[in-house]
A and B are shown apart, each in its own frame.
Chain A
């Protein structure tokens, strides 16, 4: 088969929808093109846990009918998408990268998937991830490691590595991932695509297998900022099934894109340029700041003094909540069950066999942090640090409208390169503080290293001000052509 440029998979959501409306292509054509690309390229990229071919073709046929009847549901109708394998999908296995959920077929749909289906999107499948979203490379998936389409020997980032690799490899028009400490933004940066973590509370978490409840947030990956805005438009907003999804009005994100950055105040946090970061990343981000300045933005240095404590606080709060959220996997109700002489043995054998190393490490960390006598020193202290980190951002946003920074200190590393968990954790040092503060952040392509690996620019906004984040990212994207470069993929002959 030919390259991506000859298929509907090359198109942005906007362009694809235009073709559907003009009758030049049907949703079924698009689904078939994407399924063909998955068949050709996923054996080498390995982004998909499950390809829902029949579901996709059936849903596409329904979309065909709507277009034929002149009544499409909107800009996402017939658009092929895929979901990180922790969004519950009724009747479709949702394994969350874990052996403990290998057999888990949810009886219900996540709110985000319901909303995408309501808008007519077509489900291509479920995407690989680090087990329970704990990791930065998909190497913690209990099944396999996803490859970076820009260099198949390198990781796609994580935990939503399947979601970023699928968009980078044009195996889906857009995908959903989740971000707890950087799990959308870091893989987006590593794969040279756009990835948005919305404000905590902007998007419903109902039906999203929980890792750390006070941090988890769903968000889109797409080829462009405009496509990202279109997906956010559909999934954002209050949900009667999630009390933490806030009833804050959802603006028209696409309309907000056009504003430009002229006169906008943009802060550059000095703590986000650290010793040991990849000089090519620093260079690219500083160059991006110049682009924004040339577009009329007023840039100024800001300080986020508690940045260095973010990582430590995160690795107490995240594991503490995870130890609680993962307590339910005991072999009694669903998923894996390893028999034992009694209930206690059944539970502990099930958990011993079903959870991987990193998950067990965090359950133990978190259990310890919540224990009587240690709670205040660990969990309590981490929450106080979290407050200070949030206060830093609040102070900075008193002076600027958005903050730009590198998404990650480095670029995609080789599979197997980072064996020390602490080295792995350091990947998220620039994304974690934003998660702790609950703020929206986007990663947008901002160049390539000499080796040809993508670099991400992070744009951070005020709570619920995704519009500003998208606007800055869009202005930058339109002034550069990084997003137009595609990885050279060779089809696997079967």
Chain B
């Protein structure tokens, strides 16, 4: 085995037993959930017909000028504070130049030497170990448009451009090269996603490109202090892709180093179909972006009280909420982690607990039953959930008071999910109420005992499993409506007397 150690999950041995250490840094781009674009008043909604959300500014028309979206700056500050960054009260935009037809001005307004915020850190938990990953900087920029080619770019007979996305506010968060394995990288990405989603500054949707991730990855001799030659990986639009692409790249680079091959500093694209990275361009052809301060925008001079106001208004962040879930509700760290991937699920859990204050029962149902039915765990999926948290609480209350059994409850849950009705309505209509009438149940128990003399003999002979069989028979006769505890008690009373 060469570098399959990437599959190990101790968080340290990204390059397995090859003697190499994996070094990864992530650049995450997050679409900000502002109503309008970064530098003009156009709408940002996803999926509108091409070029219907554009104006002279985001089309880069001659004579047009950018004006900074205050809300985007506020969202950037919110995220920066949540990851412990120092907000630069003085910061400014810069132009980054390269030619590409999806970019109307052939330069992108971004931030370079004076970003919005710097020097933060993010905690990740992996295998019970907590590590702090440095965040180098957080800056704001505008997104580019989308190209549609007829064929490959180089030979396309025609290409069309949709500028709806051009100018949508982006926040770029650059980590330090502190990540040591693909697992750590995905853990970092999940933690970051949870934060921006909790803050309500990004919807965290990787498939639609609201959250995008590029990785810089290199290997070096274990114990070495100098970084190896890094390769940039792009086009990883899911957590799974990030994990797979980085695992692949660890193996590729380890093999190259073992065979004495030179690692080329380049950009590689993840090809999710063939599960490999392919070279896109090497550093020899790298762009000179010719950054210079954006002369159309005065430097941003943020009032300190505004930043403090934003700090004071920060919502509870995922880490704090996880801690509270463990301490106040007695959940395991793992359960808390799963609940706090997004604010929607965590809110759902808390609302259900308010309706039915048995957190352990609620968390089991949310994580097992609810997530099995929902199409995803993102806020959109939670918001569209046909079972409101109070209804789930109601269902659990019926189990607790003995009205229905846990098994029946699962059927009721599915019906609730499909119909949107509450548990009590379904139980009443379908007569699913548990049989707790001792007389009625006693008769069923008598019938079962009369029908199985051999089993009674076995029980007398010491076979404890025989009791389970008899309980099962009673449940079967009552279509599962019998209260199992009551059945057990009745059998326990009647058997010795036979």
**CB of A367 within 8 A of chain B?**
yes
Top 10 A-B pairs, shortest CB-CB distance: A327-B106, A213-B295, A214-B295, A370-B290, A209-B62, A207-B63, A332-B101, A88-B63, A328-B105, A372-B288
* Interface residue ranges, B against A (CB under 8 Å): 56, 59-68, 95, 97, 99, 101, 104-107, 153-156, 159, 161, 288, 290-292, 295-298
Assuming A240-B67, A243-B67, A375-B292, is B97 touching A324 (CB within 8 A)?
yes
Write out the residue numbers on chain A whose beta carbons fall within 8 Å of the beta carbon of B66: 243
Structural contact, A332 and B161, CB atoms closer than 8 A: yes
**CB of A71 within 8 A of chain B?**
no
Structural contact, A207 and B64, CB atoms closer than 8 A: yes
What are 17 A-B contacts with C-beta separation under 8 Å? Answer: A88-B61, A96-B62, A206-B64, A207-B64, A209-B62, A210-B296, A243-B66, A244-B298, A320-B292, A321-B295, A323-B290, A328-B62, A330-B99, A330-B106, A367-B290, A370-B97, A370-B291
Instruction: Tell me how far the C-beta of A84 lies from the nearest C-beta in chain B, rounded to whole angstroms.
Output: 12
**CB of A242 within 8 A of chain B?**
yes
Write out the residue numbers on chain B whose beta carbons fall within 8 Å of the beta carbon of A367: 290
Report how far A242 CA is from B97 CA in the complex, Å: 22
Smallest CB gap from B156: residue in A: A342
Structural contact, A370 and B292, CB atoms closer than 8 A: yes
Write out the residue numbers on chain B whose beta carbons fall within 8 Å of the beta carbon of A87: 63
Chain A 84-125 near chain B by CB (<8 Å), digits 1 or 0: 001110000010100001001011101000000000000000
Q: Which residues from 432 to 469 on chain A have a C-beta closer than 8 Å to any C-beta of chain B?
A: none
**CB of A379 within 8 A of chain B?**
yes
Point out which of B59, B99, B153, B290 has the most chain A C-beta atoms below 10 A from its C-beta. Answer: B290
Structural contact, B159 and A343, CB atoms closer than 8 A: yes
Smallest CB gap from A379: residue in B: B292
Report how far A327 CA is from B62 CA in the complex, Å: 11
Structural contact, A88 and B290, CB atoms closer than 8 A: no
Report how far A342 CA is from B150 CA in the complex, Å: 12
Report how far A175 CA is from B149 CA in the complex, Å: 45
CB-contact partner of B61 in A108, A214, A343, A370, under 8 A: A108
Report how far A305 CA is from B106 CA in the complex, Å: 39
Report how far A494 CA is from B288 CA in the complex, Å: 56
Could you list 13 further interchain pairs (A-B, Cβ under 8 angstroms) beyond the known A213-B296, A343-B153?
A87-B63, A94-B63, A101-B62, A108-B61, A205-B65, A214-B295, A324-B107, A324-B292, A330-B99, A330-B106, A333-B59, A344-B99, A370-B292
Assuming A321-B295, A333-B60, is B155 touching A342 (CB within 8 A)?
yes
Structural contact, A371 and B290, CB atoms closer than 8 A: yes
Q: Which residues from 300 to 347 on chain A have a C-beta closer than 8 Å to any C-beta of chain B?
A: 320-321, 323-324, 327-328, 330, 332-334, 342-344, 347
Structural contact, B67 and A328, CB atoms closer than 8 A: no
Smallest CB gap from B57: residue in A: A241
Report how far A86 CA is from B155 CA in the complex, Å: 36
| Interface SS of chain B | loop
Structural contact, B288 and A371, CB atoms closer than 8 A: yes
Instruction: Tell me how far the C-beta of B140 lies from the nearest C-beta in chain A, rounded to whole angstroms.
Output: 15
CB-contact partner of A327 in B64, B107, B153, under 8 A: B107
Structural contact, A328 and B290, CB atoms closer than 8 A: no
**CB of A403 within 8 A of chain B?**
no
Report how far A212 CA is from B292 CA in the complex, Å: 13
Assuming A243-B296, A327-B99, A330-B106, is B56 touching A107 (CB within 8 A)?
yes
Smallest CB gap from B154: residue in A: A342
Write out the residue numbers on chain A whose beta carbons fall within 8 Å of the beta carbon of B291: 370
Write out the residue numbers on chain B whose beta carbons fall within 8 Å of the beta carbon of A96: 62
Write out the residue numbers on chain A whose beta carbons fall within 8 Å of the beta carbon of B104: 328, 333
Write out the residue numbers on chain A whose beta carbons fall within 8 Å of the beta carbon of B107: 324, 327
Write out the residue numbers on chain B whose beta carbons fall within 8 Å of the beta carbon of A261: none
Structural contact, B101 and A330, CB atoms closer than 8 A: yes
Report how far A330 CA is from B101 CA in the complex, Å: 8
Report how far A242 CA is from B101 CA in the complex, Å: 25
Report how far A27 CA is from B65 CA in the complex, Å: 34
Write out the residue numbers on chain A whose beta carbons fall within 8 Å of the beta carbon of B290: 323-324, 367, 370-372, 375
**CB of A208 within 8 A of chain B?**
yes
Write out the residue numbers on chain B whose beta carbons fall within 8 Å of the beta carbon of A110: 63
Assuming A342-B156, A375-B292, is B65 touching A241 (CB within 8 A)?
yes
Instruction: Tell me how far the C-beta of B302 lies from the nearest C-beta in chain A, rounded to whole angstroms.
Output: 15
Structural contact, B296 and A244, CB atoms closer than 8 A: yes
Write out the residue numbers on chain A whose beta carbons fall within 8 Å of the beta carbon of B67: 240-243
Structural contact, B95 and A324, CB atoms closer than 8 A: yes
Structural contact, B106 and A106, CB atoms closer than 8 A: no
Instruction: Tell me how far the C-beta of A354 lies from the nearest C-beta in chain B, rounded to whole angstroms.
Output: 13
Report how far A320 CA is from B67 CA in the complex, Å: 22
Write out the residue numbers on chain A whose beta carbons fall within 8 Å of the beta carbon of B288: 371-372
Structural contact, A106 and B62, CB atoms closer than 8 A: yes
Instruction: Tell me how far the C-beta of A160 lies from the nearest C-beta in chain B, rounded to whole angstroms.
Output: 16
Write out the residue numbers on chain A whose beta carbons fall within 8 Å of the beta carbon of B64: 108, 206-207
CB-contact partner of A242 in B65, B95, B105, B155, under 8 A: B65
Instruction: Tell me how far the C-beta of A317 lies from the nearest C-beta in chain B, rounded to whole angstroms.
Output: 9
Smallest CB gap from B66: residue in A: A243
Report how far A240 CA is from B70 CA in the complex, Å: 13
Smallest CB gap from B55: residue in A: A108
Structural contact, B298 and A243, CB atoms closer than 8 A: yes
Structural contact, B56 and A347, CB atoms closer than 8 A: no
Write out the residue numbers on chain A whose beta carbons fall within 8 Å of the beta carbon of B153: 342-343
Structural contact, B63 and A210, CB atoms closer than 8 A: yes
Structural contact, B65 and A94, CB atoms closer than 8 A: no
Write out the residue numbers on chain B whose beta carbons fall within 8 Å of the beta carbon of A371: 288, 290
Assuming A110-B63, A244-B298, is B101 touching A327 (CB within 8 A)?
no
Write out the residue numbers on chain B whose beta carbons fall within 8 Å of the beta carbon of A205: 63, 65
Smallest CB gap from B60: residue in A: A328
Chain A 209-246 near chain B by CB (<8 Å), digits 1 or 0: 11011100000000000000000000000001111100
Report how far A367 CA is from B62 CA in the complex, Å: 19
Structural contact, B62 and A104, CB atoms closer than 8 A: yes
Structural contact, B63 and A206, CB atoms closer than 8 A: yes
Write out the residue numbers on chain B whose beta carbons fall within 8 Å of the beta carbon of A324: 95, 97, 107, 290, 292
Structural contact, A327 and B105, CB atoms closer than 8 A: yes
Report how far A244 CA is from B299 CA in the complex, Å: 10
Report how far A367 CA is from B153 CA in the complex, Å: 26
Structural contact, A108 and B65, CB atoms closer than 8 A: no
Report how far A108 CA is from B298 CA in the complex, Å: 24
Write out the residue numbers on chain A whose beta carbons fall within 8 Å of the beta carbon of B298: 243-244
